[in-house]
């Protein structure tokens, strides 16, 4: 019992190195935004900034979840496939009125939770590597989804979904408010609760966690459930933003979410990371993408720059902490 009451895991997550990491990335983001502002006067226009943040929000939701999974030495490749599957599920209601929205959310979260449970069960109880378990889940969801839709896009959606995804309250995008709410809620869970401390313990040393009375399997499974639920919610917001459901909604989010988390200093080896730093990683990623567009470079350039930055950022954290 006692070890859980000591602040050990938290102090680890707030150590000098991790503080440096957080501010290091912040400095990088500010520098990037300065470059963007100098390079293109459009960048700092409120319309552009709001646009960037609106695009960032669904990815941010996925990253919140992905962080939990990476912290327990895992990763989730099925998030993007789940986002698209949730989007298809949302249109399956063929709802045209907003009364259906709560129902859609409940169904989406329920489906996501089941997916997360299966992922977590395979990883924790069956010892399947996270890479393979979630890869298999990604392919299975993709098959089921295509079999259901026959490959064709659908677009019957309650009008309120569009408002959730791209509407604004006092000029602030609704999806950004939702992301902030999610991030704060899960941030408290991760960085302030007993369960959060258990996550860090399991991530940094499963055996020690077990000897200290933590059930690693239970913690890991819950992390996968949290990840899938976040991805499912992200899928609904992305769907509302895109408007129609292609079967590939969210494609690329699995890799982008891992990239953002790693740039935000979440260690793939587990046990080290911070949700808000991971979200800074998202900001860096979307600002880079926006910058490439504003500078008039071909959109393919985003891929090249993203590739360089992901390797560079990972290397940066590696050497900083060595």
Partner 1 sequence: MSAITVDLRRNRLMLSYLIVAVLLVVLAVAGGLLSDRFLTWRNIGNLFQQLIVLGMVSLGQTFVVLMGGIDLAIGSLVGALTVFLANFLEWRPDLVWLALPLALVAATAVGALNGLLTVVLRVHPLIVTLGMSSIVFGATLMYRKEPGGSVPRAFADIAYAKVGGIPFSAIVLVVIFAFAGLWLQRTRTGRSIYFVGGDREAARLNGLPVDRIVVLAYALSGLCAGIAAIFLTARTGVGDPRIGAALTLQSVTPVVVGGTILAGGRGGVLGTFLGVLLVTMLNSLLNFVNVSSYYQWVIQGLIIIIAVGIHTTRRR
Q: Which is nearer to partner 1, 93 or 248 (CB)?
A: 248
Q: Does residue 151 belong to the site contacting partner 1 (CB under 8 A)?
A: yes
CB of 32 to partner 1, least distance (A): 18
Q: Is 27 exposed, middle or buried (0-12, 13-18, 19+ CB in 10 A)?
A: exposed
Asked if residue 132 binds partner 1 (CB under 8 A), the reply is: yes
Task: Look at residue 169 and give its three-state secondary structure.
Answer: strand
Site for partner 1 in 169-198 (CB under 8 A): none
Candidates 176, 179, 262, 266; binder of partner 1 (CB under 8 A) is 262
Q: With respect to partner 1, which residue has the nearer C-beta, 192 or 318?
A: 318
Is 117 near partner 1 (CB under 8 A)?
no
If the CB atoms of residues 16 and 322 are measured against partner 1, the closer one turns out to be 322
Please report how close the Cβ of residue 142 comes to partner 1 at its closest, in angstroms.
Answer: 5
Using CB under 8 A as the binding rule, whether residue 147 contacts partner 1 is answered as: yes
| Contact pick of 30, 172, 304, 320 for partner 1 (by CB under 8 A) | 304
Q: How far is CA 268 from CA 73, 74, 207, 273, in A?
A: 6, 7, 18, 9
Q: Which residue is listed with tokens 């992901």?
A: 310
In b/e form, how buried is each residue of 225-247, taking b as 16+ CB within 10 angstroms? Answer: bbbbbbbbbbbbbbbbbbeebbb
What is the distance of C-alpha 96 from the center of its chain?
29
Give the distance from CA 281 to its chain's centroid: 10
Number of residues that make up the chain: 322
Is residue 315 close enough to count as binding partner 1 by CB under 8 A? yes
Task: Return the range that interacts with partner 1 (CB under 8 A); candidates 54-62, 90-98, 125-133, 271-279.
Answer: 125-133
């Amino acid at each position: 019992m006692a070890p859980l009451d000591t602040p050990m895991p938290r102090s680890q997550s707030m150590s000098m190195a991790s503080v440096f990491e957080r501010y290091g990335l912040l400095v990088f983001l500010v520098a990037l935004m300065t470059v963007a502002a100098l390079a293109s006067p459009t960048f700092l226009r409120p319309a552009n900034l709001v646009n960037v943040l609106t695009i960032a929000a669904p990815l941010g939701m996925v990253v919140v979840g992905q962080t939990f999974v990476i912290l327990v030495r895992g990763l989730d490749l099925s998030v993007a496939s789940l986002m698209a599957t949730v989007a298809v599920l949302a249109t399956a209601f063929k709802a045209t009125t907003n009364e259906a929205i709560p129902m859609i959310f409940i169904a989406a979260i329920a489906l996501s939770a089941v997916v997360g449970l299966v992922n977590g069960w395979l990883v924790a109880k069956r010892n399947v590597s996270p890479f393979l378990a979630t890869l298999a889940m990604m392919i299975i969801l993709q098959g089921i989804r295509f079999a259901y839709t026959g490959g064709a896009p659908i677009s019957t959606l309650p009008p309120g979904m569009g408002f959730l995804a791209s509407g604004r309250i006092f000029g602030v995008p609704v999806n950004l408010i939702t992301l902030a709410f999610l991030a704060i809620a899960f941030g408290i869970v991760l960085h302030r609760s007993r369960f959060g401390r258990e996550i860090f313990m399991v991530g940094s040393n499963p055996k020690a966690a077990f000897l200290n009375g933590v059930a690693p399997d239970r913690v890991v499974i819950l992390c996968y459930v949290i990840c899938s639920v976040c991805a499912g919610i992200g899928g609904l917001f992305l769907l509302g933003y895109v408007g129609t459901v292609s079967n590939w909604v969210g494609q690329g989010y699995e890799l982008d979410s891992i990239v953002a988390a790693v740039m935000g200093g979440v260690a793939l080896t587990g046990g080290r990371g911070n949700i808000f730093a991971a979200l800074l990683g998202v900001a860096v990623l979307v600002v880079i993408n926006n910058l490439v567009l504003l500078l008039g470079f071909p959109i393919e350039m985003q891929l090249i720059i993203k590739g360089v930055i992901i390797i560079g950022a990972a290397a940066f954290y590696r050497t900083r902490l060595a």
